[in-house]
Structure 1
Amino acid sequence: MHAAAQFELIIAMFLVIVGLHYIARRLSLPPAAALIVGGGAVAFIPGLPAVAIDPELVLVLFLPPLLMDGAWFTAIAPFRRHMAGILSLAIGAVFFTTGIVAVVTKMLLPALPWAACVALGAILSPPDAVSARAVLQRVRLPRRLSTLLQGESLLNDAAGLVLFRFAVAAVLAGTFSLGAATGTFFLLVVGGIAVGAGIGALWVLLLRRLGDDTLMIAVTMLVCWSAYITGELLHVSGVIAVVTAGLTCGWFQHVVFSASVRIRALAFWQVLVFLLEAAVFTLIGLSLRGILDRIGDPTRIIDTMAMPVAAIVAAVIVARFLWIFAADAVVALLRRMGWAPARPLGGRAALVMSWAGMRGVVTLAVALSLPEAMPERDLMLVTAFSVILVTVLVQGTSLGWVIKRAGPKEDRTAPPPLDLQAAEHAMFRAQLSAVEREAHDAGGEVIHPQLLRRYRTRATAGEAFDGTAEERNQAIASHFDVIIAAVEAGRAELVRLHRAGQIDDETLHDLEHDLDLEELGAVAAKG
């Protein structure tokens, strides 16, 4: 197939993605499930060429921006506060699941070398950042559980990828050293943190000197791939490098971005992440045909692979339950023994955490990267695809129901969030102080009376309001509804004048931009 036809297929895929996403929203279905099923259906359209996925390209193209997006919006304080729980899931659960899957696989296939069994476990063990994001966007969780799941999805890929590489090397070389593997794992993590922090610091220095909105947005977009590729070239963890760079950029973006850059960059980034995330799940569905073509006879899956695949899928799901409930029991025991920092999740929250273990693009890409010499490679591919289908289509679609039935409670021992109205009042007072300093001339005369009056009214409105918080919010919403209605009327009049030929395009765009900014400010203030 020539390059132009490939490009046409890519555009067609994105059009299909938009259609499937729309259908999923209309039917109240998880978009990830609709995209996988839709991609699988599209893959078997007669005359459509099979989609061959390059695993290395998939990892370097999709993983860095999606990890960056998660890290960028991660709240640092809760992330640090729950670091022990995050590491328990991102490292402990991955290693434990790998071990369980390896044991079950060895029992089912005694002739398969232990290293190959471990390689399969490493492929299936890490829940996927993309799948977690897709599900968490549709459900409401207590802050602690949300932080744990987000933190796990950011870090567990590194543990799974390192385990996989050591296991494959052991299969091909026939030797394995636990001490060397542990030391190398530590160096990969520390090196990834150093690379990510360096890229993030360079980003901060660069943005403070660029002075051009478009260049700033372009540089920001390239940070994730720069961190990942640099980490891999230096033989450290590219995943950890991206996460560290994302946390650094997310922390400093409030002081290096202007308002216009932030508005434009966020809009651009949201569209980019939407397309990449949707493409990931569609490619998973499209890859089904390639897997079946490789195996040849579909009946071979049913006759020889059905039982071991089903057992391994069950082992993956059960292993997460075992680890989370066992770890929570240990934390509860430590709590009873008097260790104050230990705070167990409780049975309801542990159930939700256990059920939220969706696999996705990393599992598929790593499975496809298995060398041809790997024993039972076809079985591993089918198992990886089956785990993705079961966890996304079954667990992902039912997670909202599980959360509703389990009803996990908010963690009351965590520091309470800052009161929104108190923070808003402090912001208004700071604004008033700045205006008061600048609103007088050298002789003390007021030179900006309207501006001073506006900010003084804004700063004292909360103190002067006698109603309840709900009544105050309703009054604020009503106020900004009027502003939004005025903006819409102004925009309609501009369009009418332009269509009538009374104003030119430049005037339309300039005045429309002012209205857009006014509307954004009103919507943000109302929200």
Structure 2
Amino acid sequence: MHIVETLLILVAACIGFALLARHARLPYAVVLVLGGMVLAFIPGAPRVELDPEIALTFFLPPLLQASALRTDWRAFTGNIRPILFLAVGAVLFSALCVAAAAILLIPWLPFTAALALGAIVAPPDAVAAAAVLGRLRLPKRIVTVLEGESLINDAAALVLYRFAVAATLAGAISWSEAGVTFVALAIGGAAIGWAIGRGAVFAIRRLDDTLLETAMSFVACFASYFAAEFAHVSGVIAVVATGLVLGRAQHALTARTRRESRAVWEFIVFVLNSLVFILIGLQLNEIMDRMEGYSGWDLAWFAGVLSAVLIASRFAWVFPASITPRLLPALARYGQPGPWSHSTIIAWCGMRGVVSLAAALALPVTFPERDLIVFLAFCAILATLVMQGTTLEWLIRRLGVEEKRRPGMSVEEAAARTLIAHASLREMERRAEDVLAGAIAQDLLPEYRDRVRLLDGINQGAIAAERASRLEHRLHALRAGRARLLRHREEDGLEEELMVRLTEELDLEELRLRRLLGAEHG
């Protein structure tokens, strides 16, 4: 079947599975993987092979940059200790634990090959967790730590993976060389990513075109990855650095560019995430075809034990790491430790994804026990997605970690809106003092003063109720205006371009009113 037709069928299947996941209240990543497995065994279904190079170079850069774009830099740096403890420490610890278990279970497997297996399954994929976390109101620290980990852990795992593969083929490994190389790759990748990010910001500010500016953000994403890989440094770190630079420069873009580029990125991320997980499921028949030399009991035993070790190793690392700042107060300024319930959630968010499968499929054909390693990696992905992915929401609610939605506007939001209102009022009062052009400003002053009065008293119940009522009235008036505009187009005719512009303005105002009403009602 032609690749375009196959792609369209897969996207349609992704939409269907996403709807099924919504109705079943399950993480859509889990449903997509299981759905892909079902599709893989339908008679006559086309066999879709996941090229590891495509997975790493086509899927990974935009997904990483999308996460980096929405990362809160201040929160990221404020929690850098727990993020690094997970992104580097937990990855290395999990890889060693899986390698040790693999050697005990499969004595004929060389240590470096077992270490390669550990590096393959070590990095969690936060995309699967995000499907659950997005529906819940979790403490900001948990979300920051998990998102920050996902930005860096792939780089740590892939560096260890490359050394383990090279050592297996060459017959030796130098731990000191591996450590120095990891630091060099990280620094080199960060430098290239920062430079390309700054160059992209410089170009975007001068393009003055929303479509070109959005396109430039995608060009920067792939340019940083390929430039870093060409220079033999970390492409993952380079993409993350570029995303962080572009994310911090969002305020310098036009309002239209920010709004439309956000919509484009959300669409791309949904499509790529969906394709990634359904492609993982579609690999099952290809993987099982190579397992004829092993008994079903042996495969189930190997997969069960290694998956259990993988899950347990994260708990064995997270809880001692969360205690470290209490024992060493000097580390506390790099991220305050949270309660044990927070550590439990962080430890349970260990679902694996496309990076693990792509790394497994990228193993050389002559690699020792390659087919078995690919099968075990697939089982680890499936076990963590199904077991942890389906129980994460239940665990969050059981531990009472989810934050309750408070009625009314938050104190932080009210304070920020009050600052904006006061600054706007001062500017309008300044303009009203102009003898020649102050008449119009004088007419607008009551509206700005009224807005300040309402925000100053936002915590008083009567004021909040009055504000909500005013927003409701404005929303009903806006709907009446839109209905009249539609009748005018039908009765008297209206240029489509003008209709689009007016409708867009009404849509933006409706979104603003609905957002404010949501803050009022909670």
Letter of the 1:436 partner, please give it. E
Output the aligned Cα RMSD.
2.3
Deviation at 1:340, TM superposition (A): 7.5
Which segment is superposed worse, 440-449 or 342-351? 440-449
Residue of structure 1 in register with 2:156 after alignment = 159
Pick aligned residue for 2:482 from 482, 491, 497: 491
1:263 aligns with 2:268: no
Residue of structure 2 in register with 1:331 after alignment = 325
**How high is the TM-score relative to the length of structure 1?**
0.91
Structure 2 contact 82–335 (Cα < 8 Å) conserved: no
CA distance in 2, matches of 1:469, 1:32: 44
Pick aligned residue for 1:100 from 90, 97, 101: 97
Residue of structure 1 in register with 2:80 after alignment = 83
Residue of structure 2 in register with 1:221 after alignment = 218
Aligned ranges 1:2-17 → 2 under 5 Å: 5-17=2-14
1:379-424 CA-partner distances (Å, limit 9, x unpaired): 11111111111111110111111112223498xxxxxx97221211
CA distance in 1, matches of 2:454, 2:497: 39
Residue of structure 2 in register with 1:378 after alignment = 371
Deviation at 1:479, TM superposition (A): 2.2
Residue 448 of structure 1 aligns to a residue in which SS? helix
Which segment is superposed worse, 284-293 or 81-90? 284-293
**Are the structure 2 counterparts of residues 439 and 221 from structure 1 closer, same or farther at C-alpha, using a change threshold of 3 Å?**
farther
Structure 1 contact 441–447 (Cα < 8 Å) conserved: no
CA distance in 1, matches of 2:27, 2:440: 57
Residue of structure 1 in register with 2:351 after alignment = 358
Residue of structure 2 in register with 1:35 after alignment = 32
CA distance in 2, matches of 1:507, 1:75: 38
Pick aligned residue for 2:413 from 376, 398, 420: 420
**Are the structure 2 counterparts of residues 459 and 133 from structure 1 closer, same or farther at C-alpha, using a change threshold of 3 Å?**
same
Aligned ranges 1:228-239 → 2 under 5 Å: 228-239=225-236
Residue of structure 1 in register with 2:338 after alignment = 345
Structure 1 contact 132–150 (Cα < 8 Å) conserved: no
Structure 1 contact 334–342 (Cα < 8 Å) conserved: no
Letter of the 1:80 partner, please give it. T
Structure 1 contact 24–31 (Cα < 8 Å) conserved: yes
Residue of structure 2 in register with 1:47 after alignment = 44
Residue of structure 1 in register with 2:406 after alignment = none
Residue of structure 1 in register with 2:514 after alignment = 523
1:204-238 CA-partner distances (Å, limit 9, x unpaired): 21122111121111112322212211111111111
Pick aligned residue for 2:382 from 379, 389, 396: 389
CA distance in 2, matches of 1:24, 1:340: 41
CA distance in 2, matches of 1:423, 1:376: 59
Query: May I ask how many residue pairs the two structures share in their alignment?
Result: 512
1:278 aligns with 2:274: yes
CA distance in 1, matches of 2:222, 2:236: 10
Residue of structure 1 in register with 2:429 after alignment = 436
**Are the structure 2 counterparts of residues 470 and 264 from structure 1 closer, same or farther at C-alpha, using a change threshold of 3 Å?**
farther
Structure 1 contact 197–241 (Cα < 8 Å) conserved: yes
CA distance in 2, matches of 1:301, 1:142: 46
**Are the structure 2 counterparts of residues 180 and 488 from structure 1 closer, same or farther at C-alpha, using a change threshold of 3 Å?**
same
CA distance in 2, matches of 1:322, 1:218: 43
1:307-363 CA-partner distances (Å, limit 9, x unpaired): 11211111101111111122233333335x997777433332222221111101111
Residue 290 of structure 2 aligns to a residue in which SS? helix
Q: Kindly, what percent of the aligned residue pairs are identical?
A: 42
Residue 249 of structure 2 aligns to a residue in which SS? helix
Deviation at 1:203, TM superposition (A): 1.6
CA distance in 2, matches of 1:468, 1:82: 31
Pick aligned residue for 2:311 from 310, 317, 329: 317
Deviation at 1:470, TM superposition (A): 4.9
Residue 345 of structure 1 aligns to a residue in which SS? coil
**Are the structure 2 counterparts of residues 518 and 140 from structure 1 closer, same or farther at C-alpha, using a change threshold of 3 Å?**
closer
Aligned ranges 1:124-273 → 2 under 5 Å: 124-255=121-252, 257-273=253-269
**Are the structure 2 counterparts of residues 449 and 343 from structure 1 closer, same or farther at C-alpha, using a change threshold of 3 Å?**
closer
1:152-179 CA-partner distances (Å, limit 9, x unpaired): 1111000000000000000111121222
CA distance in 1, matches of 2:225, 2:334: 35
| Runs ≥4 residues deviating over 6 A | 337-342
Pick aligned residue for 1:480 from 468, 471, 493: 471
**Are the structure 2 counterparts of residues 492 and 295 from structure 1 closer, same or farther at C-alpha, using a change threshold of 3 Å?**
farther
Q: What 5-or-longer segments of structure 1 have no aligned partner?
A: 411-416
Which segment is superposed worse, 454-463 or 70-79? 454-463
Aligned ranges 1:401-416 → 2 under 5 Å: 401-408=394-401
CA distance in 2, matches of 1:109, 1:338: 40
Deviation at 1:286, TM superposition (A): 1.2
CA distance in 2, matches of 1:362, 1:169: 19
Pick aligned residue for 2:118 from 89, 102, 121: 121
Structure 1 contact 97–121 (Cα < 8 Å) conserved: yes
**Are the structure 2 counterparts of residues 501 and 319 from structure 1 closer, same or farther at C-alpha, using a change threshold of 3 Å?**
same
CA distance in 2, matches of 1:372, 1:101: 22
1:241-260 CA-partner distances (Å, limit 9, x unpaired): 111111111111112x1111
Deviation at 1:90, TM superposition (A): 0.5
Deviation at 1:440, TM superposition (A): 4.3
Residue of structure 1 in register with 2:407 after alignment = none
**Are the structure 2 counterparts of residues 470 and 273 from structure 1 closer, same or farther at C-alpha, using a change threshold of 3 Å?**
farther
CA distance in 2, matches of 1:22, 1:342: 38
Structure 1 contact 484–519 (Cα < 8 Å) conserved: yes
Letter of the 2:327 partner, please give it. L
CA distance in 1, matches of 2:334, 2:172: 42
CA distance in 2, matches of 1:68, 1:242: 6
CA distance in 2, matches of 1:23, 1:344: 38
**Are the structure 2 counterparts of residues 434 and 524 from structure 1 closer, same or farther at C-alpha, using a change threshold of 3 Å?**
farther
1:467-514 CA-partner distances (Å, limit 9, x unpaired): 744554443333223322333333233333434464343443232223
Residue of structure 2 in register with 1:414 after alignment = none
Residue 48 of structure 1 aligns to a residue in which SS? coil
Pick aligned residue for 1:306 from 275, 294, 300: 300
Structure 1 contact 130–361 (Cα < 8 Å) conserved: no
Deviation at 1:59, TM superposition (A): 1.1
1:448 aligns with 2:445: no
**How high is the TM-score relative to the length of structure 2?**
0.92
Pick aligned residue for 1:398 from 375, 391, 394: 391
Residue of structure 2 in register with 1:65 after alignment = 62
**Are the structure 2 counterparts of residues 156 and 474 from structure 1 closer, same or farther at C-alpha, using a change threshold of 3 Å?**
farther
Deviation at 1:303, TM superposition (A): 3.6
CA distance in 1, matches of 2:492, 2:292: 65
Structure 1 contact 132–153 (Cα < 8 Å) conserved: no
Structure 2 contact 40–284 (Cα < 8 Å) conserved: yes
CA distance in 2, matches of 1:497, 1:342: 59
Letter of the 2:271 partner, please give it. L
1:52-109 CA-partner distances (Å, limit 9, x unpaired): 1100111111111111111111111121111011100000011111111111111111
Deviation at 1:43, TM superposition (A): 1.7
